[in-house]
Amino acid sequence: MDRGYLPEAEAPTRDEIDHTTGVVLLEFGAPDCGYCRALAPQVQALVKEHPEVRHVKIEDGPGQALGRSFQVRLWPNLVFLRDGQVLRQLARPGARDLKEAFASLAAPVG
């Protein structure tokens, strides 16, 4: 089930994100973004296949500090992290790029 985007005021801070343990997918976008709506079913399906991934949807917009800290310019923008470190970041990804990014999260560390 799609929970919708968290407003930045309710989203984790950059410091909290940097100190997060485990695997996290930050998804930056907006409810009225057509690209975001089109990609949502693919993201949701992959999140379901990978329950170890904590998925956080964050509403982005002009002047939003958290999105700018990740240099978000296009939506949807997906930031894949492990233990607070960015592994991969994708802007408007295709299906293959999205699957590859999720597969890399499942790969053993080291």
Residue 47 is part of which domain span?
A: 29-51+61-79+91-110
The average pLDDT across 80-91 equals 96
- Please give the tally of structural domains in the chain: 1
Domain contains 101:
yes
The verdict on residue 65 lying in a domain is: yes
The CATH number given to whatever domain includes residue 41 is 3.40.30.10
Q: Is residue 16 part of a domain?
A: no
User: Domain for residue 2, yes or no?
Assistant: no
102 in a structural domain: yes
**Mean pLDDT of all residues in 64-69:** 95
Q: Which amino acid is at 33?
A: C
The answer to whether residue 43 is domain-embedded is yes
- Which residues have a Cβ under 8 Å from the Cβ of 55 and sit 6 or more positions away? 24, 25, 27, 43, 47
**73 domain-assigned:** yes
Beta strands 23-29 and 77-82, pairing class:
antiparallel
Where would I find the H helices in 5-106? Answer: 14-18, 34-49, 65-69, 95-106
Identity of the amino acid at 26:
L
What angle do the packed helices 95-106 and 34-49 form, to 10 degrees?
30
- pLDDT tens digits along 34-64: 999 999 999 999 999 999 999 999 999 988 9
Residue at 68 is within a domain: yes
Over residues 1-31, the pLDDT tens digits come to 456 899 988 999 999 999 999 999 999 999 9
